[in-house]
Amino acid sequence: MALLIQPYTLSGESLLGYLYRSAFVNHYKHMGVLFKLFGIPRGLDISLLSHQVIERISSYTGLDCETLTSLSLNTLEREIHDKAIFHKILYKRGLKYCPACLRNTPHHRLAWNFEVIDICLEHRIQLLNSCFCGKKVNYKDLIKSTCECGHDLCDVPICNVRNNTVIESQRKLLELIMNPSQTTSFSNLSLSNGIQLIFASLYLVDGMKSHLINVKQVVERTKKESLSSGALLIEKIAMVNWMYTNFPINFKSVLEDFISREKGTQKFWKKTQFEQLLMQNDFSEINEAYQQFWIEQLTKGNRRRVLRVISSRHIEVDEEVSNSPIIRQQSFNETKHKNNRITLIEASLMLGLDRLYVRKLVNVGYLEPMIHQGKRYVKIESLLDLIVRCRGAIIVEHTQRITIREILMRYPGLGLSVISLIGLILEGKLTPASRRPNSSFNDITFDIQEVAELIDNRKKDCMNNQFSIPLNY
């Protein structure tokens, strides 16, 4: 039996918003009645429905399945293969709305479902998620355009967005989300990769001064108040959009600002988060520009402040070098060191390990130390020998393989450490392999089965000898 009143869909409307509106005009007191009629289980994500449920909704509403599917997030969820990324872009702190959009026909729009979209592009207003009284709104409130407190949601203080840079970045991002089968304008990235790029790049622009891209006063407020989390996010997204415009010039400007702004371990952490993205082949163009930036810094003789880039006073760099650090690692295959020594900081960059591990490698005898003018160094020959022995063969296929970091995460409590794993390599008990000749220790992988067998043997030894597996630092 079809619904007595079958409303037309509104432009940009969401599926759940349409169903709430249908329930309202048909005078259903509770949405649960309508959900039961459609065969929708309680607790099911209404934005993601099976084809069978959509067919049932179609039979009651008179809308074809294609139209109903277009109101849902089904197409988007199908295009984004990584479910973690899909759920990352969804807004999970209630409902967003535009007061101006509610004035004509109150409804909920599909674009309001996203964490990364915080502006109504039609009215250039920052989206809200609560009433003037402070209460979070729900679908019932939006369809009636009235809060439970009785206040009209169309008549609440608004934040006008005046900055065209921010508006344009939101427009591009919304187009990318709403047309997931299309590729982005940059490097023909898919939607999934485009979203990954945005979130990874936020680590680099976090804390960046907006004067670089003229993103000042993102929103114009009716009263003095600090920027909301949504306003801060859209400002950062605008910075990311600018970052990949006029590539790679703006990209390198952001990197310059990053190394001059960030300090201490926070810089290392943010840099590492961004570099994880570059491990994927889909971002080769960005990876190439990123590597070239650090090479330029090195050849100019600039020290990387807290990152402690090696000074040209100690290193003579071949300008033809075309690969640079991934996770604090710098390839120095083409470098020549004076006096056959290298600092602990330089060694850590070459290995892709923290300086703490360099000291431990010296302590266990894997690296040969030197003292020069009261300062500690490492003999370059011992370092290069360790790198060659630990990188193993160069292979293309790395499926069914596991990195050092993944081993430590997968097998906690067994006394394993970076140093002990390096020792197992040198003892011939683990067979390493790398993706490329200049891989850092972070890129070294091992056969999963070989690691599992090694762990099983160590557990058996532990049980037989009734003592814990020794911890090598």
Per-residue pLDDT of 101-137, as tens digits, reads 999 889 999 999 999 899 999 999 999 999 989 999 9
130, 239: one domain: yes
% pLDDT > 90, the chain:
27
Choose the final residue of a domain: 285, 320, 351: 285
Q: Residue 374 and residue 452: Cα distance in Å, rounded?
A: 45
Looking at the 3D structure of the chain, how many domains does it have?
Answer: 3
Res 257 pLDDT > 70: yes
35, 151: one domain: no
Which has the minimum average pLDDT: 31-35, 312-316, 376-380? 312-316
56, 127: one domain: no
DSSP designation for 303: -
Per-residue pLDDT of 450-459, as tens digits, reads 998 988 887 7
Mean pLDDT of the chain: 79
Choose the final residue of a domain: 247, 267, 285: 285
52, 199: one domain: no
Q: How many CB atoms lie within 10 A of CB 168?
A: 15
Mean pLDDT (whole number) for 272-286:
84
Which has the minimum average pLDDT: 127-141, 266-280, 446-460? 266-280
Res 439 pLDDT > 50: yes
Give residue 233's pLDDT band: very low, low, confident or very high (50, 70, 90): confident
Long-range pairs of 132-139 with CB within 8 A, sequence gap ≥ 24: 132/156, 132/157, 136/93, 136/94, 136/95, 137/94, 137/95, 137/97, 138/94, 138/95, 139/16, 139/17, 139/20, 139/31, 139/95, 139/108
198, 61: one domain: no
Say if 58 falls within a structural domain. Answer: yes
| SS3 state of residue 10 | coil
Write out the residue range of the structural domain in which residue 440 sits: 391-465
Mean pLDDT (whole number) for 224-248:
76
49, 104: one domain: no
Say if 40 falls within a structural domain. Answer: yes
23, 152: one domain: no
173, 280: one domain: yes
267, 130: one domain: yes
Give residue 300's pLDDT band: very low, low, confident or very high (50, 70, 90): low
Choose the final residue of a domain: 257, 285, 313: 285
Mean pLDDT (whole number) for 324-341:
46
Q: Are the beta carbons of 298 and 309 closer than 8 angstroms?
A: yes
Which has the minimum average pLDDT: 125-139, 355-369, 426-440? 426-440
404, 265: one domain: no
Mean pLDDT (whole number) for 317-328:
35
**pLDDT of 466:** 44
Q: What is the total residue count of the chain?
A: 473
Res 394 pLDDT > 50: yes
**pLDDT of 351:** 86
Entry pTM: 0.61
Say if 192 falls within a structural domain. Answer: yes
**pLDDT of 193:** 86
% pLDDT > 70, the chain:
79
Say if 62 falls within a structural domain. Answer: yes
Res 287 pLDDT > 90: no
43, 174: one domain: no
Give residue 308's pLDDT band: very low, low, confident or very high (50, 70, 90): very low
60, 103: one domain: no
Res 85 pLDDT > 60: yes
Mean pLDDT (whole number) for 268-288:
84
Say if 401 falls within a structural domain. Answer: yes
Res 470 pLDDT > 50: no
Residues 6 or more apart whose CB falls under 8 angstroms from that of 374 comprise: none
Per the structure block, which two tokens stand in for 395? 């292979």
**pLDDT of 426:** 93
Say if 383 falls within a structural domain. Answer: no
Helices 355-363 + 418-426 axis angle, to 10: 50
Q: How many CB atoms lie within 10 A of CB 250?
A: 17
